[in-house]
Chain A
Amino acid sequence: MIQNSSGSAPYIYVSTRLRVRKAKLLPPEEYQRMLNMSLPEIIRLIGETEYQKEVDELGASFEGIDLIETALSWNLAKEFRNVIEIAPGSLKEFTKAYLRRWDIYNVLTILRGKMQGVAPHKIKEVLIPASSLDRFALDRLVAEESNERIIDALKSEKIYKVLISEYPDALASGSFARMENELYKDMYKEFLTIARRGVKGGNQFLKYVQLDIDITNIKTLFRLRQDGFEEDARSMIIQGGTFTPDEIQQMNQMGSQNEVIDALIARIRAKPLLSVLEDFRGEKPYYEVDIGLTKTQIEQMERLSKINPFSIHPILVYLEKKKYEVLNLRALARGKESKLPSDIIRKYLVV
């Protein structure tokens, strides 16, 4: 149930606390240092930071890269669940909604893992119980015999509706692509419903949701164009942003990249996004476009958190930055393990 906070004190408290936590995240120069380190050095350094507790706790069960990956996932899940606990009133609901993507990620990982006969302990290692499905719930799902039983066990969850309607088709086609897209589209639909319900702070949450939808749709558009996809792309577009699926479809049919960028710029108001889109006029590799858009989204969220210092924005900025810290550390460790050159690893970091 949504609780409207009676005063601004809890909002100030949570926003300040998360701003402090955000300040404790690894600075960009730390990644630069880590790029020049060897894998054991990176593992040791991660063990000396905020992740020390998890590294110590899991040290007996895992080692090397597995230890780091699991410790990072555990820390991320713990941190996210803690934010849900401390968030007051409607902020709690917004935070829970934002974190629902982790439920989708976890359930899809379990379904795919089960379908491909991946060992349960291997599936458990990559799950991140950062949302409504906690570690015990996920363990129970992993222990289920079949995917049908897993879906049945999710009856009380919001993703059940999409799962039950899309799973038969996914099973018949052997591909979870459509189901995956529908789950994320349904998640954004729910975001919009919550944000427009008229609760305190809903407008601020709506700004984030629209920004997220716009960035995701622009990324999808560039990705489709990169692939030369000329069919109907509307089913892959999320509704509720600046652009409708029909408009994105039209842009996908346009002849040149410049035309698309002109069409996007004509409608977008956020200045950082405008400048990053201008940068994409040249022949840039697509991953640079994607990472550029992600960085712009975080910058824009940071800006919104400064405009609305006691709203959902400081929470979302912290959650997003924390997520990318974990992904960056994981990429660094895995990249070093795969002996990728530092220059290549650097290109894929969101710093």
Chain B
Amino acid sequence: MALKDIKPTRSELINIKKKIKLSQNGYKILKMKRDGLILEFFKVLGQAKDSRGALLVKYARAQEMMAIANTVEGSIKVKAAALSVQEKPDITLRNKNVMGVVVPKIDSNKVRKGIADRGYGILGTSPVMDEVATSFEELVEAIIESAEIETTMKRLLNEIEGTKRRVNALEFKVIPELSEARDFIKMRLDEMEREELFRLKRIKARNES
């Protein structure tokens, strides 16, 4: 706000004072929100690190089991067994609110299947097939868990960024400019008052002489 655009009136001063108060309140609240979000972010960050670590371990295990299954059973048999699975996992996406940030809540079922629900015959396959199926089911579960945690983390991070920008804008731009405007109006009003007083004194002196 350029100072030349400001009308140095009392009502404008009152308005600006109100704005300053509002901005200061908003600044305090946003600062508290930012700090809260950062605390929440660090909590989620710990979980994300754990879940990403578990995901990598499970991915490596699944890859190894796939190589073993291809070694023991042959790739066509493994592919045939994999494609025999008919029931797809049920994934439900809901929302939950963390300090005003909408984050996903992913519920899944039917990821883990029993030996009878995997679609391949027990008498014509070796237990390696069960192990590879289990390892991939565990991997899918880990991916779902990681997806929820990492999306939450990203959304929190975006919100922290946004809140930080708003706090900075209030702290370094809006409140200083409003204060400057308030000071300018005050100064102008004081000056105008002095001019008025001087003018009145001059008129009084002219009348007396």
Interface residues of A (CB under 8 A from B): 69, 104-105, 108-109, 112-113, 115-116, 118, 122-123, 126, 173-181, 183-185, 216, 219-220, 223-224, 226-229, 231, 236, 238, 286-287, 290, 327, 330-331, 334-335, 338-340, 344-345, 348
Partner of B84, one of A118, A177, A287: A177
With contacts A109-B80, A116-B79 taken as known, whether A179 is within 8 angstroms of B70 at the C-beta atoms is no
- A residues near B15, Cβ cutoff 8 Å: none
With contacts A109-B76, A330-B74 taken as known, whether A178 is within 8 angstroms of B122 at the C-beta atoms is no
Q: How many A-B residue pairs have CB under 8 A?
A: 117
B72 near A: Cβ within 8 Å? yes
B67 near A: Cβ within 8 Å? yes
A331 contacts B80, C-beta separation under 8 Å: no
B89 near A: Cβ within 8 Å? no
With contacts A126-B76, A177-B84 taken as known, whether A338 is within 8 angstroms of B67 at the C-beta atoms is yes
17 pairs, CB–CB < 8 Å, chain A vs chain B: A113-B80, A116-B83, A126-B76, A174-B119, A175-B84, A176-B84, A177-B118, A180-B123, A181-B124, A216-B123, A226-B127, A229-B114, A236-B122, A286-B130, A331-B72, A338-B71, A340-B67
- B residues near A177, Cβ cutoff 8 Å: 84, 116, 118-122
B71 contacts A331, C-beta separation under 8 Å: yes
Q: Which 5 A-B pairs have the closest CB atoms?
A: A180-B121, A338-B67, A175-B119, A112-B80, A184-B123
B126 contacts A290, C-beta separation under 8 Å: yes
Cα distance, A224 to B123, chains bound together (Å): 12
With contacts A229-B115, A344-B68 taken as known, whether A286 is within 8 angstroms of B127 at the C-beta atoms is yes
Nearest B residue to A116 via CB reads B83
Q: Considering the complex, which residues of chain B in the window 58-76 have a beta carbon less than 8 Å from any beta carbon of chain A? A: 64, 67-68, 70-72, 74, 76
B131 near A: Cβ within 8 Å? yes
With contacts A229-B114, A231-B116, A335-B67 taken as known, whether A185 is within 8 angstroms of B76 at the C-beta atoms is no
B77 near A: Cβ within 8 Å? yes
Cα distance, A246 to B74, chains bound together (Å): 34
- A residues near B68, Cβ cutoff 8 Å: 335, 340, 344, 348
Cα distance, A331 to B121, chains bound together (Å): 22
Number of interface residues of B (CB under 8 A): 29
- A residues near B116, Cβ cutoff 8 Å: 177, 229, 231, 236
- A residues near B115, Cβ cutoff 8 Å: 223-224, 227, 229
A174 contacts B84, C-beta separation under 8 Å: yes
Known pairs A220-B122, A286-B130 / 11 extra A-B pairs, C-beta < 8 Å? A122-B76, A123-B76, A174-B86, A175-B119, A175-B120, A184-B124, A223-B130, A231-B114, A335-B71, A338-B71, A345-B71
Q: Which of B118, B120, B131 has the most CB of A within 10 A?
A: B120
Cα distance, A113 to B121, chains bound together (Å): 16
With contacts A177-B119, A227-B114, A229-B115 taken as known, whether A108 is within 8 angstroms of B124 at the C-beta atoms is yes
B38 near A: Cβ within 8 Å? no
Partner of A287, one of B122, B123, B124, B131: B131
The binding surface of chain B is classed by DSSP as helix
- A residues near B130, Cβ cutoff 8 Å: 223, 226-227, 286
B128 near A: Cβ within 8 Å? yes
Cα distance, A252 to B126, chains bound together (Å): 19
Cα distance, A44 to B64, chains bound together (Å): 26
Nearest B residue to A332 via CB reads B71
A236 contacts B123, C-beta separation under 8 Å: yes
B127 contacts A181, C-beta separation under 8 Å: no
Q: Considering the complex, which residues of chain B in the window 74-123 have a beta carbon less than 8 Å from any beta carbon of chain A? A: 74, 76-77, 79-80, 83-84, 86, 114-116, 118-123
- A residues near B119, Cβ cutoff 8 Å: 174-177
Nearest Cβ on chain A to B27's Cβ, whole angstroms: 57
With contacts A112-B80, A176-B119, A286-B131 taken as known, whether A348 is within 8 angstroms of B72 at the C-beta atoms is yes
B12-36 vs A, Cβ < 8 Å mask (1 yes, 0 no): 0000000000000000000000000
Nearest B residue to A287 via CB reads B127
B77 contacts A109, C-beta separation under 8 Å: yes
Cα distance, A335 to B71, chains bound together (Å): 5
- A residues near B79, Cβ cutoff 8 Å: 116, 118
Cα distance, A345 to B128, chains bound together (Å): 13
With contacts A174-B84, A174-B86, A340-B64 taken as known, whether A223 is within 8 angstroms of B127 at the C-beta atoms is yes
Nearest Cβ on chain B to A167's Cβ, whole angstroms: 14
Cα distance, A173 to B86, chains bound together (Å): 8
Nearest Cβ on chain B to A281's Cβ, whole angstroms: 18
Partner of B70, one of A113, A118, A338: A338
A113 contacts B122, C-beta separation under 8 Å: no
